[in-house]
Amino acid sequence: MTTLRRQVRKRIGCFLLALRDVAKARGIRQLAKDTHLSRESLYRTLSQGYPRISTLEAVLESLGPRLSVEVIADAKVPPGRAGAAL
């Protein structure tokens, strides 16, 4: 596994843990109601890694933060393989 991929996975994990803390503070039951997802699905999504974009979008929309994507300036990606790095 490449260093970039490990860094991305670690950052995603940290992000999801932080998002789970915010969700717990606001109330998982209410978040489940707002997003039309089960509480179990939310706990699993926010604990075990790679949620679907639609799930993440619903959770973020309900909680309020905005997510953006930024290019890593020092990423070593071969020409023509931009999508393959992740």
Residue 72 near residue 3 (C-beta atoms within 8 A): no
Question: Domain for residue 77, yes or no?
Answer: no
How does pLDDT run along the chain (86 residues), one tens digit per residue? Answer: 578 778 877 888 888 888 899 999 999 999 999 999 999 888 888 887 678 888 888 999 999 888 787 877 776 666 665 555 45
Q: What range defines the domain where residue 33 resides?
A: 3-64
Give the count of domains, the chain.
Answer: 1
Question: Domain for residue 50, yes or no?
Answer: yes
Q: What is the pTM of this model?
A: 0.66
Question: Domain for residue 69, yes or no?
Answer: no
Residue 23: name the closest of 67, 71, 62 by CA: 62
Q: What is the CATH number of the domain that holds 27?
A: 1.10.260
State the Cα–Cα distance between residues 1 and 21, nearest whole angstrom. Answer: 29
Question: Domain for residue 49, yes or no?
Answer: yes
Q: Which two tokens stand for residue 85?
A: 């790095």
Question: Domain for residue 44, yes or no?
Answer: yes
Question: Domain for residue 16, yes or no?
Answer: yes
